[in-house]
Amino acid sequence: MKNNIVKFLAVAFLFQLTGCTGDFNEVNTNPNTLTSDQLDATMAGPSFANALYKGIGNASWSLPGDDYGTYGLATALHSMVFSHYMAYPGGATDANGVNDGWRSRGWLRFYTIAVPSLLNTYKAAAGNAEALAVLDIWKVYMFHRFTDEWGPIPYSQAGIGGKSVAYDSQEAMYTDFFKLLEAANATLSASSATTVGVFKDYDALYSGNIEQWRKFGNSLRLRLALRISDIDAAKAKTQAEAAVTAGVMVSNTDNAYYKVTKDTYNNFVDIMKYWGFYMTADMESILKGYNDPRMAKWFSPVLDNTSTYKGQYVGLPNGIGSTIPYQGKNFSGTNQVTTFSDNVTKDIEVMMASETDFNRAEGVLKGWSMGGTAKALYEDGIRLSLQQWGVTDESQITAYIAGTTTGAVPTFGSLYTDSTPPVNVPVAWSGTVANQKKQIAIQKYLGLFPESWEAWSDLRRTDANILYPLLTTEDATIGKGIMKRITYLPNEYSTNGDAVNAAVQLLGGADKGSTKLWWDVN
């Protein structure tokens, strides 16, 4: 399969259609592009392969005109630091700031590469019900991540071209998301086939396996149901229960990993190695406090022989800013010896079964029928996450689940006004609902790593208060808490101004990082 997936490299940049706004027309004008009538079933696999890889925000030096710096700018320097998974000292976004070039890169690549590839796959797969159902699931995955970064975005008209393209409200998009996921489950459930043939050799997630894609779609539906649970509780309950009844991920064999190759590699591995990212004080506090075996899987102890902290796991507080001196030799990076040593062997986490267990556990606390008790689902989610990362000793897993310790004061905790760890609940299941909600939020936060897009969204939705405040902030309207959204691009205002101004009205607040999204009402 991997060899066939790589074949898309030869045609990936032939799948460029007119972009989202007039500004993208020049980018997409290529005399070598294929026309719509040249797209047939033989092109469905290659274009789907590109939509998968670009849809998770990764890029490759092997693709003409592309590079994995896209991931560094669009993910690592945004959701990765917003969620306090990693720290980037001195970077604007690490302190709730904005960098026009960084955010523009993610927007541009999404609408000029990922979306056109998706739309071309729809054309090439026309008439293939199972393929179209899988594409609907992937469409929802791609767009829900993107709208949950920005708010209203071009959706229904994305890819049609023209000098102005309207933005859709989040409410309208989520309504469509649920329709697509419900219909996809119905189609895949009714199919007598086991594999989507046109995707089999190009699908780096599931090799076209229909049952796996069906579970993925239902698990995504459950995720989105929780997302809207504060703004539309009744609809959230209906969608969540329907998703679980239809069948969601239940074991690590269901996990969605993007299987990397020498040409479609794991950008996280290299960006963390070479761009100056460090483990955060929050991760140090949680992992040390819980004596979490995943710490050694994910991070490296300080290696510099001249550091006072050599051999220790040390996290850098987020928001340290350029005014507070620090030395990189004193902080932990990712584990580049084993877990994140090689970008062509470490597959990319897309969606894990542990998250589904945590989502179900939270659903039980909301009074939803989730097919188990909150405690059992919570503990199974922990077990799945630990096993996912190679912790297989059952006695170690059992001891972790029964742990009674709480968060630890990080090495540089004295830099905070109040060094008291925000994580003040143990792993062992609590007797109060308030604590149980926080426990689920913490373990899901860990279970999602390093998929920071979802971690950032979940932190905003739950307001779980599990992270230290930033040391400094570049935006007083946000303060030292969590960034609420990414603001729109100056170039969009100049080339698609009427549509962006209408989008701000849909947003319901100023185009600022402090304005909450539609579903973020608490």
Residue 24 has pLDDT above 70, yes or no: no
pLDDT score for 443: 98
Q: Which sign, positive or negative, has the C-alpha torsion 304, 305, 306, 307?
A: positive
Contact status, residue 462 vs residue 437, Cβ threshold 8 Å: yes
For residue 36, what pLDDT is reported?
A: 57
Higher pLDDT, 187 or 20: 187
Separation between Cα atoms, residue 423 and residue 431, nearest integer Å: 16
* pLDDT value at 7 more than 60: no
- The torsion angle over the Cα atoms of residues 92, 98, 99 and 102, rounded to 10 degrees, is 100
35, 57, 137: which is closest to 349 by C-alpha? 57
The yes-or-no verdict on residue 37 having pLDDT over 80 is no
Helix (H), strand (E) at residue 455: helix 452-462
Rounded average pLDDT over 85-114? 93
Q: What pLDDT is stored for residue 323 in this prediction?
A: 66
Q: Does the structure show a pLDDT above 60 at 31?
A: no
DSSP state of 348: E
**Interval 309-316 mean pLDDT:** 98
Per-residue tokens: 309: 């902290």
Q: For 156-207, how does the pLDDT look when each residue is reduced to its tens digit (9 = 90+)? A: 999 887 778 999 999 999 999 999 999 999 999 999 999 999 999 999 999 9
Q: What is the mean pLDDT of residues 123-149?
A: 97
Question: Which residue from 115, 226, 236, 224 is spatially nearest to 173, judged by alpha carbons?
Answer: 224
Mean pLDDT computed over every residue of the chain: 92
E-only strand ranges, 40-177? 86-87
The kind and range of the H/E element at 498 are helix 497-507
Number of neighbours of residue 160 by Cβ within 10 angstroms: 14
Going by C-beta distance under 8 Å and a sequence separation of 6 or more, which residues neighbour residue 452?
Answer: 75, 79, 80, 82, 83, 85
Alpha carbon distance 356, 388 (integer Å): 14
Q: Please report the pLDDT score of residue 19 as a whole number.
A: 37
- Percent over 90 (pLDDT), the chain: 86
Q: What is the distance between the alpha carbons of residues 441 and 455, in angstroms, rounded to a whole number?
A: 10
The pLDDT assigned to 38 comes to 63
N- to C-terminal Cα separation, the chain: 45
Q: What is the pLDDT of residue 377?
A: 98
Q: Which residues contact 414 (CB under 8 A, 6 or more apart)?
A: none
Each residue's pLDDT tens digit, 417-468 = 999 999 999 999 999 999 999 999 999 999 999 999 999 999 999 999 999 9
| CB under 8 A, 24+ apart: contacts of 122-128 | 123/36, 123/39, 124/39, 124/40, 124/41, 124/42, 124/43, 124/44, 124/47, 124/198, 125/41, 125/44, 125/48, 125/198, 128/41, 128/44, 128/196, 128/198
Given this model, what pLDDT does residue 62 score? 80
3-state helix, strand, coil in the chain (%, to 5): 50, 5, 45
Of the candidate ranges 133-147, 190-204, 319-333, the one whose mean pLDDT is the lowest = 319-333
**What pLDDT is stored for residue 12 in this prediction?**
46
Strand (E) or helix (H) holding 330 = none
Considering only CA atoms, which of 256, 224, 210, 196 is closest in space to residue 52? 256
What whole-number percentage of the chain has pLDDT above 70?
92
Local confidence band at 42 (pLDDT 50, 70, 90 cut-offs): confident
**Which distant-in-sequence residues (6+ apart) come within 8 Å of 443 by Cβ?**
358, 378, 381, 382, 385, 427
Lowest mean pLDDT among 4-18, 335-349, 394-408, 470-484: 4-18
- Stretch 68-93: mean pLDDT: 94
Q: How many residues does the chain have?
A: 522
CA atoms within 13 A on the CB side of 64: 11
pLDDT of residue 425: 98
Give, to the nearest 10 degrees, the angle between helix 129-150 and helix 210-227. Answer: 30
Please report which helix (H) or strand (E) contains residue 3, including its range: helix 2-6
Q: Which of 377, 370, 382 is nearest to 447 (CA)?
A: 382
- Whether residue 28 is predicted with pLDDT greater than 80 in this model: the reply is no
pLDDT tens for 242-261 read 999 999 999 999 999 999 99
Q: How far apart are CA 106 and CA 227, in angstroms?
A: 23
Closest CA to 515 of 478, 476, 472: 478
Per residue in 282-308, pLDDT tens? Answer: 999 999 999 999 999 999 999 999 999
CB 479 within 8 A of CB 504: no
